[in-house]
Amino acid sequence: MVHNTRWGILATGGIAKAFVKDLLKNPQTRNASDITHTVTAVASSSSSSRAQEFITDLSLPGMPKAYGSYEELVNDPNVDVIYIATPHSHHYQNARLALEAGKHVLCEKAFTVNAAQAKILVDIARKKNLFLMEAVWTRFFPLSVQVRDIIRKGGEIGEVVRVLADLSIANADGFDVSSRMVNLDLAGGALLDLGIYSLTWVFQTLYHTLPPSQRKPPSTIQSSMTKYPATGADEDTTILLTFPTTTPADDRRASHGIATTAFAVHSHPRGTPSIRIQGTKGEIQIFGPAFRPVKYRVVPVDEKKEIREWECEFPDGGHGMYWEADEVARCLRDGKLESERMPWEESIVIMEVMDEVRRQNGLVYPEKIESVEYPVAL
Ligand SMILES: NC(=O)C1=CN([C@@H]2O[C@H](COP(=O)(O)OP(=O)(O)OC[C@H]3O[C@@H](n4cnc5c(N)ncnc54)[C@H](OP(=O)(O)O)[C@@H]3O)[C@@H](O)[C@H]2O)C=CC1
Ligand SMILES: O=C1OC[C@@H](O)[C@H](O)[C@H]1O
């Protein structure tokens, strides 16, 4: 039986458009014959006409409802799950609004502004029996799934002892101070917007590849940050994490994750790898931006062994967001509250790392958006 998921889209900006375009792609082209997606409603905080414009521009089928407020959207009985596509500053309030109304939630990254907010959302989802997930789409790429499998099996690159992951966007000219990229009122800055992907690669390789009972948060977190002069948001952040061995009997080595992000430099100029996963027998190099990897190469230390490459296909001309949407649909179909590939606990641990990095470097957002109070008008 084919399971259809009815999506409500909360906000009409850039990523909402990209996500919905992928929802419209034919699932059969990516061998997903068990699920389908429908957009049944769209809301804009600006006006219902903006929501209608979004629907018209994307030629959404089935006459979805257009709402001029997020409140109306979360109360629509024809919506199963809300996709939250507002700036980071608004995720806690918006996700809570949806959960309190009894809706499942897929919330854009970074999940919240801080770990305290993330924990409250998780508690509410658990109590209300609702699905909740941070929309780290990269984790659901077939490429990410394959890379995690290679690491788990250990054969090709041996034991992983170091991961270098960068997402830097070569924007040396800077941003306007109002841009969500650098505006503190919108929880802007490289760390929450881009560094989350560098951390994703560190975590999905050094942490997520272990059985859940053996996953241990980093034992040390060291970091350095440069601030964007015009606003005080971070523009360049470097993080060094140590992942401990798990038990006294564990004969694995401790491992290091180095997660970097910066506005002014480029993480992968002219096709250089943006991520290197270094094991005792070789390394995996990841090509393309950390958020949308396009190829991996396995390079054995032993020169007698062949270098192997695998390139990601994007069926039906998609962007690659449909794989996370499919995961949500399957979790809803199966009555799961969280995804095993992006578990609540891991989102929280990563938020805690970002909290600590901000603490070490004095990056504080306005009280209103750091707060766990609800409801707060932003
Ligand atoms: N997964 C990915 O690849 C990407 C993820 N993102 C994430 O998606 C989220 C949104 O980013 P993006 O789409 O680029 O942002 P945009 O600025 O393009 O859109 C944000 C939307 O949020 C709504 N909004 C509500 N309140 C505000 C406010 N005070 N200021 C600005 N917008 C507001 C607006 O929609 P409306 O008026 O309709 O309510 C606006 O269009 C962020 O969390 C970001 O990190 C972003 C890019 C890529
Ligand atoms: O998630 C993202 O990925 C792509 C980047 O360009 C964007 O700023 C970020 O939010």
Verify that 149 and 254 share a domain, yes or no.
yes
Whether 63 is in a domain gets the answer yes
Per DSSP, the chain holds a count of helices (H) and strands (E) of 11, 14
What is residue 253's predicted lDDT score, i.e. its pLDDT? 86
Verify that 149 and 227 share a domain, yes or no.
yes
The C-alpha atoms of residue 213 and residue 225 are separated, in whole angstroms, by 33
Dist. CA 89 → ligand 2 center (Å): 15
Verify that 109 and 246 share a domain, yes or no.
no
Calculate mean pLDDT across residues 75-87: 98
104 lines ligand 1 (CB under 6 A): no
| Pair of tokens at residue 80 | 């199963």
Verify that 39 and 131 share a domain, yes or no.
yes
Verify that 99 and 151 share a domain, yes or no.
no
Tally Cβ neighbours within 10 Å of residue 78. Answer: 11
Verify that 216 and 177 share a domain, yes or no.
yes
Verify that 175 and 304 share a domain, yes or no.
yes
Whether 345 is in a domain gets the answer no
Verify that 117 and 177 share a domain, yes or no.
no
| Pair of tokens at residue 7 | 């999506």
Calculate mean pLDDT across residues 168-172: 96
> Of 282, 233, 294, which is closest to residue 261 (Cα–Cα)?
233
Dist. CA 10 → ligand 1 center (Å): 10
Q: Which class for 372: exposed (0-12), middle (13-18), buried (19 or more C-beta within 10 A)?
A: middle
Residue nearest to atom 5 of ligand 2 (CA): 194
Dist. CA 235 → ligand 1 center (Å): 19
Whether 344 is in a domain gets the answer no
Domain that holds residue 276: 142-311
**Segment 50-73, tens digit of pLDDT:** 999 999 999 999 999 999 999 999
**Does pLDDT of 98 surpass 90?**
yes
Q: Of ligand 1's atoms, which has the minimum distance to the CA of residue 50?
A: 38
Whether 177 is in a domain gets the answer yes
Residue nearest to atom 8 of ligand 2 (CA): 193
- The values of phi and psi at residue 131, to 5°, are -75, 140
Calculate mean pLDDT across residues 243-270: 89
101 lines ligand 1 (CB under 6 A): no
| Pair of tokens at residue 322 | 């449909």
15 lines ligand 1 (CB under 6 A): yes
Residue nearest to atom 3 of ligand 2 (CA): 291
CATH number of the CATH domain containing 251: 3.30.360.10
For strands 65-67 and 35-43, give the pairing: parallel
In percent, how much of the chain has pLDDT > 70? 99
Verify that 63 and 22 share a domain, yes or no.
yes
User: How much is the pTM?
Assistant: 0.98
Tally Cβ neighbours within 10 Å of residue 337. Answer: 17
For strands 104-108 and 81-84, give the pairing: parallel
6 lines ligand 1 (CB under 6 A): no
**Does pLDDT of 265 surpass 80?**
yes
Residue nearest to atom 9 of ligand 2 (CA): 193
Predicted complex ipTM: 0.99
Verify that 178 and 230 share a domain, yes or no.
yes
Dist. CA 167 → ligand 2 center (Å): 10
The torsion defined by the Cα of 15, 203, 327 and 167, in degrees rounded to 10, comes to 20
Q: Which amino acid appears at position 252 of this protein?
A: R
Mutate to test the pocket of ligand 2, among 193, 199, 261, 292 (most ligand atoms within 8 A of CB): 193
Instruction: Output the 3-class SS for 276-311.
Output: EEEECCEEEEEECCCCCCCEEEEEECCCCCCCEEEE
Verify that 153 and 254 share a domain, yes or no.
yes
Assess contact for 262 and 236: CB atoms under 8 A. yes
Verify that 176 and 218 share a domain, yes or no.
yes
Q: Which residues pair with 262 in a beta bridge?
A: 168, 236
Q: How many domains does the chain have?
A: 2
Whether 49 is in a domain gets the answer yes
Calculate mean pLDDT across residues 229-254: 88
The C-alpha atoms of residue 100 and residue 239 are separated, in whole angstroms, by 35
| Pair of tokens at residue 228 | 């964007």
pLDDT level of residue 251 (50, 70, 90 thresholds): confident
Locate the DSSP E strands across 123-181.
132-135, 160-168
Dist. CA 37 → ligand 1 center (Å): 22
**Segment 276-313, tens digit of pLDDT:** 999 999 999 999 999 999 999 999 999 999 999 999 99
88 lines ligand 1 (CB under 6 A): yes
Q: Is the peptide bond before 110 cis (omega within 30 degrees of 0)?
A: yes
pLDDT level of residue 245 (50, 70, 90 thresholds): confident
> Of 93, 99, 53, 55, which is closest to residue 74 (Cα–Cα)?
99
Residue nearest to atom 26 of ligand 1 (CA): 86
CATH number of the CATH domain containing 134: 3.40.50.720
The C-alpha atoms of residue 81 and residue 102 are separated, in whole angstroms, by 9
